[in-house]
Amino acid sequence: MDVVFLSRLQFAFTIMFHYLFPPLTIGLGIVLVFLEYRWLRTGDELYHRAAKFWTKMFGINFALGVATGIVMEFQFGTNWAVYSRYVGDVFGSALAAEGIFAFFLESGFLAVLLYGWDKVSRGFHFFATCMVALGSIFSSIWIVVANSWQQTPAGFQLVEHEINGHAFLRAEITDFWQMVFNPSTINRLVHVWLGAFILGAFFVMSISAWYVLKNRHREFAVRSFTGGLLLGTVAALAQLISGHFNADMVSHHQPAKLAAFEGHYETGEGGTALHLWGWPDDETRGVKGSVAIPGLLSMLVHQDLHTPVKGLDQLEEDYGRPPVWLSFQSYHLMIWLGMLFIASTLYACWCWWRGSLFSRRWLLWFFVFAVMLAFVANEVGWVAAEVGRQPWSVYPTPDGTGQLVGGLKTADSVSEVVRSEQVLGSIIMFGFIYFLLFVLWVFLLDRAIKQGPDREPVLEPPPVTGGEAAAAITARAAHVPPPFDPRNEAE
């Protein structure tokens, strides 16, 4: 196996594992800010307990995000040295800015969040929570800036750099703000944030729904679920709009990526259809088993039913061809999941309004597991974005004459001196470690969920004999909360 393939595999594996955590902490960060704000304003103890409980969840996820995040920063240098030399001037700046603006903020105030409950005032704790949430937002800004620059480079020029008589081209910043606000930054940033909010909301809903179903921590669970549902609904609806803007942006700046997303091989005559699903096939250059809506892609791209959208046949000579099947399926899976999130949250809202939400056990069970779909949606969105960018690590841009310049092929980006057996070794190593981390993550979340938000009193059974036993059992039974009555939940 060649070193390019292995390095791509390693990057995909490590970034996908890492990306389980950042969107969750961004999403939960917003939740924590809200809960502590309410606690500060109302003094309601339930908000305090809720804030503590979700902070514990946040802590577990943040720790894994940190542990797996440092791998990413090292990997540009270890596996993609040629890429690093080519883009360091631009891309490195964004990474350094992330360190200075985001990481110090997050890691510093996280300590107050986790260990400072008894050490600082409520107001300062709230401030620390805001700073951690802000830090995770800053972090996403700089990472998305860096990645968006790879997708739609701007504000740079190619300059010949020389080392000991060896001259080579590299990208250098000409306009910092153009680099930061390159054509895709804002669209993609909003998309990433909304994805994070959806995940945070579904995470909250999952655990709360489970408590409702198990009839535990009822008041906490009902309120958490309702809050999560509200956030999830708004974010899912907004994501539809954001998704449209992103697709539109991709059609202008990365036409071959859009063609791969849509499985659009041949330009053809007249309007271009939109495939709802299907199985793209490079051999026949078509989508098998597809259900397509005629003219819809033309409508979305050109606002006209009859203007053909450029297919890969016209684009792949200049842009190359991304892996169509993977781009198509990950893109479509993301969209279908997004639709499912909209449908399920709207339906749940309707049930909530009717007062029947918490008695629909099947719907609650759906939300217990839907968080996994939200993870999948975040991951496949990125798979579509990154696979669709291929075969480039830095996408080429048209110069004044329409000539494509400035691109760097993924195959040309790997380190000069790293050999495939080294990468294979590190893949196996990360495989072992991340498997262990995954098991730990599930174990610790499961444990924290079972412990729940209450500081539950340790019930040490009294030494009982004979008639006393029955009395003790009756006495303890009296402490069991009454079964949940759905008719009361609308209050």
Contacts (CB under 8 A) with other proteins, residues 26-65: 59-60, 63-64
Q: Does residue 199 touch other proteins according to CB under 8 A?
A: no
Which range of residues in 169-177, 195-203, 273-281, 401-409 is near other proteins by CB under 8 A? 169-177
Sorted by sequence, the CB contacts under 8 Å of residue 244 that are 6+ apart come out as 300
CB distance 10 to 430 below 8 Å:
yes
Kindly state whether residue 16 participates in binding other proteins, applying the rule CB under 8 A: no
Q: Which of 4, 12, 16, 95 binds other proteins (CB under 8 A)?
A: 95
Is residue 114 part of the contact set for other proteins (CB under 8 A)?
Answer: yes
For residue 305, give every residue at least 6 positions away whose Cβ sits within 8 Å of its Cβ, in sequence order, or none.
Answer: 271, 295, 298, 299
Q: Which is nearer to other proteins, 246 or 413 (CB)?
A: 413
Report the residue number, 135 or 388, with the smaller CB distance to other proteins: 135
| Choice from 12, 40, 85, 223 touching other proteins (CB under 8 A) | 85
Q: Point out which span in 22-30, 170-178, 218-226, 333-341 binds other proteins (CB under 8 A).
A: 170-178
- Asked if 78 is part of the footprint of other proteins (rule: CB under 8 A), the reply reads yes
- CB neighbourhood size of 295 (10 A): 18
- 101 belongs to the binding site for other proteins (CB under 8 A): yes
Residue 107 makes contact with other proteins by CB under 8 A: yes
Query: Could you say whether residue 67 binds other proteins (CB under 8 A)?
Result: yes
Would you call 397 helix, strand, or coil by DSSP? strand
| Nearest Cα to Cα of residue 140 among 148, 150, 129 | 148
User: Radius of gyration over alpha carbons of the chain, in Å?
Assistant: 26
Least distance in Å: CB of 429 to other proteins?
A: 6
Site for other proteins in 173-192 (CB under 8 A): 173-174, 176
Name the residue type at position 474: T
- Give the shortest CB-348-to-other proteins separation in angstroms: 32
208, two tokens: 């709360």
Strands 156-163 and 166-173: antiparallel
The DSSP secondary-structure symbol of 155 reads S
The alpha-helical segments, DSSP class H, found in 409-466 are 420-451
Site string for other proteins, 245-284 (x = CB under 8 A): ----------------------------------------
Please check whether residue 334 is in contact with residue 377, taking contact to mean a CB–CB distance below 8 angstroms: yes
**Which DSSP symbol is given to 454?**
S
Q: Contact at 8 Å (CB) between 72 and 18? A: yes
**66 scored as a contact of other proteins (CB under 8 A):** yes
Site string for other proteins, 324-353 (x = CB under 8 A): ------------------------------
Q: In the complex, what is the shortest distance from the CB of residue 125 to other proteins, in angstroms, rounded to a whole number? A: 10
**Helical pair 45-79 and 22-42, crossing angle rounded to 10 deg:** 160
Which of 11, 34, 76, 319 contacts other proteins by CB under 8 A? 76
Q: Cα(334)–Cα(373) distance, rounded to whole angstroms?
A: 9
Phi, psi of 277 (to 5 degrees): -155, 180
The answer to the question of residue 118 lying near other proteins (CB under 8 A) is no
Please select the residue that binds other proteins; options are 1, 96, 158, 490, rule is CB under 8 A.
Answer: 96
- Helices vs strands, H then E, count in the chain: 17, 8
- If one asks whether residue 165 binds other proteins (CB under 8 A), the answer comes out as yes
d(CA 308, CA 314): 12
Q: Are strands 286-293 and 274-281 parallel, antiparallel or unpaired?
A: antiparallel
Q: Which of residues 438-477 bind other proteins (CB under 8 A)?
A: 440, 444, 447
Backbone phi and psi for residue 397, each to the nearest 5 degrees, phi listed first: -125, 145
Q: Which range, of 102-110, 274-282, 332-340, 359-367, touches other proteins by CB under 8 A?
A: 102-110
Nearest distance in Å: CB 393, other proteins: 14
Residue 147 within binding range of other proteins, rule CB under 8 A: no
Per CB under 8 A, 212 contacts other proteins: no
Among 4, 230, 437, 472, binds other proteins (CB under 8 A): 437
Which of 41, 42, 44, 159 binds other proteins (CB under 8 A)? It is 159
115 binds other proteins (CB under 8 A): yes
Q: Give the CA angle between residues 180, 186, 190 to the nearest 5°.
A: 135
